[in-house]
Structure 1
Amino acid sequence: MRLDDFDPNINVEDQRGQGGGGFGFGGGGGGGGLLFGLLPLVFSRFGCGGVAVLLAVIFFFGGGLGMLGGGGGSQQSAPSAQVGQQQAGTDAASSCAINPASKAACNAFSSADRTWAKLLGPRFEAPKLVFYGGSGRSGCGAAQSAMGPFYCPRDQGIYLDTTFFDELANRFGAKGDFAQYYVIAHEFGHHIQHLTGAADQVAQIQQRGSEIEGNRASVKLELQADCYAGVWAAQNKDRLDPGDIEEGMTAAQAIGDDTLQKETQGRVVPDSFTHGTSAQRMTWLRKGLDTGDPNQCDTFSGAI
Structure 2
Amino acid sequence: MRTRAAALICSTVLALLATLASTASAQAQLPGPGTVPPHCSSLQDCYGFEQMAAFYDEMTVWIGEFSKATYPDMSAPSYVYVKSRTIVPSACGVVMDSSAYAYCSLEDSVYVGQDQLWAFYSKLGDAAAAIGIAHEWGHHVQHVLGVAPVGRNGVIALENQADCIAGAWVGYIDGLGRLERDDLNDINAILKLIGAAEGPGRDHGTLAERTAAVQTGFRSGLTGCNSFFPGRPVLA
Bin of the TM-score, shorter chain as denominator length: 0.7 to 0.9
Counterpart of 1:178, as a letter, is: A
User: Which SS does the other structure have where 2:110 is aligned?
Assistant: strand
User: Take 2:165 and 2:182, find their aligned partners in 1: how far apart are those partners?
Assistant: 20
The answer to whether structure 1 residue 11 and structure 2 residue 51 are counterparts is no
CA distances 1:233-282 after superposition (whole Å, capped 9, x unpaired): 111111111110111111112111xx214xxxxxx52xx22111111111
The alignment's TM-score, normalised by the length of structure 2, stands at 0.76
CA contact (8 A) 1:130 1:158 kept: yes
Question: 1:49-76 deviations in whole A, cap 9, x for unaligned?
Answer: xxxxxxxxxxxxxxxxxxxxxxxxxxxx
1:103–1:169: structure 2 CA closer, same or farther, 3 Å change rule? closer
Matched, 1:143 2:98: no
What CA deviation, in whole Å up to 9, does each residue of 1:198-224 have, x standing for no partner?
A: 1xx22xx2xxxxxxxx22111111111
In the alignment, residue 59 of structure 2 is paired with which amino acid?
Answer: A
Q: Does 1:240 align with 2:179?
A: yes
Matched, 1:156 2:84: no
What's the counterpart of residue 8 of structure 2?
none
Find the counterpart in structure 1 of residue 61 from structure 2: 110
CA contact (8 A) 1:145 1:164 kept: no
Partner of 1:218: 155
Question: In the aligned structure 2, how far is the partner of 1:9 from the partner of 1:164?
Answer: 22
- 1:282 correspondence with 2:211: yes
Contact 1:139 1:154 in 2 (8 A): yes
TM-score with structure 1 length normalisation?
0.60
Runs of 4 or more off by more than 6 Å in structure 1?
A: none
Q: 1:132 to 1:148 in 2, by over 3 A?
A: closer
Q: 1:254 aligns with which of 193, 199, 207?
A: 193
Q: Which amino acid aligns with 1:102?
A: A
Q: Contact (CA 8 Å) 1:137, 1:143: kept in 2 or not?
A: yes
Match of 2:44? none
3-state SS in 2 of match to 1:236 = helix
Q: Are the counterparts in 1 of residues 138 and 165 from structure 2 also a CA contact under 8 Å?
A: yes
Unaligned runs of 5+ in 1: 17-87, 206-213, 262-267
Residue 125 of structure 1 aligns to a residue in which SS?
coil
Please say if residues 88 and 95 of structure 2, whose CA atoms lie closer than 8 Å, have aligned partners that are also in contact: yes
Deviation at 1:297, TM superposition (A): 0.6
Tell me the C-alpha RMSD between the 2 structures. 2.5
Do the aligned partners of residues 129 and 249 (structure 1) sit closer, same or farther apart at CA in structure 2, a change above 3 Å counting?
A: same
Q: Secondary structure at the match of 1:150?
A: strand
Q: Secondary structure at the match of 2:76?
A: coil
| SS across alignment from 1:151 | strand
Residues in 1 aligned to 2:214 and 2:25: alpha-carbon distance in whole angstroms? 29
Identity %: 24
Q: Using a 3 Å threshold, how does the CA distance of structure 1 residues 15 and 218 change in structure 2: closer, same or farther?
A: farther
5+ residue gaps, structure 2, are 6-16, 37-48, 231-236
Of structures 1 and 2, the larger Rg is shown by 1
Letter in 1 for 2:224: Q
Q: CA deviation at 1:283?
A: 1.0
Alpha-carbon distance change, 224 to 104 in structure 1, aligned in 2, over 3 angstroms = same
